[in-house]
Amino acid sequence: MAKINGAALIAKCLKQQGVKELFGVVGIPVTGIAKAAQDEGIRYIGTRHEQAAGFAAQAVSYIRGHVGVALTVSGPGMTNATTALGNAWSNCWPMVLLGGATDLEYTHRGGFQEAPQMAIARPFCKWVGQPTRAEDVPRMIEHAFRTAWHGRPGPVYIDLPGDIIEATLDDAGLAMPAQVAPPPRMAAPPELVAKAVETLRAAKKPLLIVGKGSAWSEASTEVRRFVERTDIPVLPTPMGKGVVPDDHPNVVSAARSYVLKNADVILLAGARLNWILHFGAAPRFNPDVKVIQIDLAQEEIGTNVPATVGLTGDLKAVMTQLVGQLEESPWECDPKGEWKKGLTAEVAKRKAELKPALESNETPMGYFRPLNEIQKVMPRDAILVAEGASTMDISRSVLENYFPKKRLDAGSWGTMGAATGFALASAVVHPEHRVIALMGDASFGFSGMEIEVAARYKLPITWIVFTNGGIGGGVAKPQQNGQLPVNVYQNGCRYDKVMEAFGGKGFHCESPDQLAKALQAAFASGETALINVAIAPTAKKAPQTYTHWLTR
Ligand code: ADP
């Protein structure tokens, strides 16, 4: 009878579930799993820190519309990945984390790197499990994939004790569950679809907010069809960008504050009324706003603002229903009405306000001109990973996305340190697309060592670091109390040299011209390259109307 060990069995199950790549950090007791995965034809990418492996796995999930997997060693290795679990939980993204664990034999006896790993993972996970017999591995892995992917997506954790990984068992007769099928697309009750269209019909100032749930649902065609049929103004959330192309005439991102404040009916499509959307509350929103909410998760309907109509279902399916309903009873946003006229004027005003900053030749540079240089050369189908506070926020208003799932950023959790893992995953899954990872120097510091991974695996990612010298910028010199300001870094850091040290290309720029040349050379090199963009330590965003808690 053929024998198989636990590591090979785990790898076989991952293959069976359609896993194409595995991100991780090897060591006791999981090295055998990574090697066995390679033997199964799964591409193994070794990161420098488990957190990056976790971020990469969830980005694989999001980009592929499937379930990505990360592998860690026990104890500190596993706990290093818990921030990634938190990020997946917060973004409603699936992923499977496989954590090596102390042998069952040594558990509760002070075993090597023993830790309460299941308890640590549990608050962020839809499910956690630990096989106590190697025979249980196949059904647990199937359960993990199904749970992470079906329903509202989220992370799951499997704890893998060393003696399960090393166990030998008979291959023959092992029950191998089938690959988990994609979740069925659930439709909303037809009477509520009709009510949604009636609610829109009564609107004077309707607005469609497109969130990353629309991207996850791959509903871009249906959402665009809805927009074209209704001529409704569209506001994407940060990662909802690209579901409707940013240069579509109905996209009103430039007038974000204006539309949120004035809309009387909002169709909320795969977005939550959480902090990103100011809880749907006044003064950012019209206090009498009616919300038609589409979400996969029934319990999300009505969060923070009671929904006038709650359409529980898959976005692609529900959008198809709405378009069908509009065929029966057409409705269109009045193209000549006050709402459209006001919006057109507001968008034009906001764009004109930005123009001087976008075209400024000033040095040291602010944020806007270098972002404009990037926008000029960024291919339409590029994948943009954006992270940092001001760098990321401002990039949203300058860098356009034209396709769904082409912007990944700090997301619902505002997580710093995710960008490198996201960029690695993007380059692995989509080698045919240009991957640009834009970061502030603060965010780069959280996971900058991962650029070595890009050099090692020859992933031609273009890393762009906006260096302003600290968290919110600044200069490292002692202040009156004799100490350095709490937010600053070493002056004049040259992150491009770190890239060169790892075998990639490095560029340093202090002017728009230098940046334009560096971008051209970086793209032409076909290698991973880091462009260090020195910007003013005092560079700021445009003044905000609402400064209350968000800018606290
Ligand atoms: P954003 O950050 O873009 O505002 P959120 O992460 O806050 O987006 O919200 C996304 C919402 O989309 C979640 O409430 C999630 O339940 C929902 N969602 C995820 N997948 C689907 C889907 N296939 N169909 C409908 N809603 C979905």
Ligand 1 atom nearest to CA at 274: 7
Domains of the chain: 3-170 (3.40.50.970), 190-344 (3.40.50.1220), 360-534 (3.40.50.970)
Q: What is the pLDDT of residues 265-280, one digit of tens each?
A: 999 999 999 999 999 9
Rounded to the nearest angstrom, the distance between the alpha carbon of 550 and the centre of ligand 1 is 22
Helix (H) or strand (E) holding 119: helix 117-121
How far is the centre of ligand 1, averaged over its atoms, from the C-alpha of 238 (Å)? Answer: 12
Calpha distance 204→380 (Å, rounded): 34
Q: Which helix (H) or strand (E) holds 98?
A: strand 95-101
* Contacts (Cβ under 8 Å, ≥6 apart) of 317: 185, 186, 187, 188
Q: Which of 87, 207, 210, 212 to mutate to test the pocket of ligand 1 (most atoms within 8 A of CB)?
A: 212
Place of tokens 């560079």: 539
d(CA 454, CA 248): 34
- Asked if residue 353 lies in contact with residue 374, where contact means CB atoms within 8 angstroms, the answer is no
**Which whole number is the average pLDDT over 505-514?**
98
315 C-alpha to ligand 1 centroid (Å): 9
Mutate to test the pocket of ligand 1, among 92, 185, 292 (most ligand atoms within 8 A of CB): 92
Whole-number Å distance, alpha carbon 132 to ligand 1 midpoint, is 35
Instruction: Name which residue sits closest to atom 20 of ligand 1, judged by CA.
Output: 213
Of the pLDDT bands very low, low, confident and very high (cuts 50, 70, 90), residue 552 is: very low
Reply yes or no on whether the pLDDT at 254 is more than 80. yes
- The yes-or-no verdict on residue 549 having pLDDT over 50 is no
Name the residue with tokens 């090199």. Answer: 525
Return d(Cα 473, Cα 357) in angstroms, integer: 18
pLDDT tens for 63-73 read 999 999 999 99
**Residue % of the chain over a pLDDT of 70:** 98
| Atom nearest to 317 CA in ligand 1 | 24
- The residue type of 146 is R
pLDDT at 135 over 70: yes
Strands 69-72 vs 95-101: parallel, antiparallel or unpaired = parallel
Ligand 1 contacts (CB < 6 A) are 91-92, 152, 211-213, 216-217, 237, 239-240, 270-272, 274, 276, 294-297, 300, 314-315, 412
Give the separation between CA 274 and CA 35, rounded to whole angstroms: 42
Q: Please say if the pLDDT value at position 481 is more than 70.
A: yes
Q: How far apart are the first and last CA of the chain?
A: 66
Mean pLDDT of 182-203: 98
Cα separations (Å) of 133 from 130, 225, 381, 466?
9, 51, 47, 50
Q: What value does the mean pLDDT of the chain take?
A: 96
The pLDDT of residue 335: 81
Residue located nearest, by CA, to atom 19 of ligand 1: 213
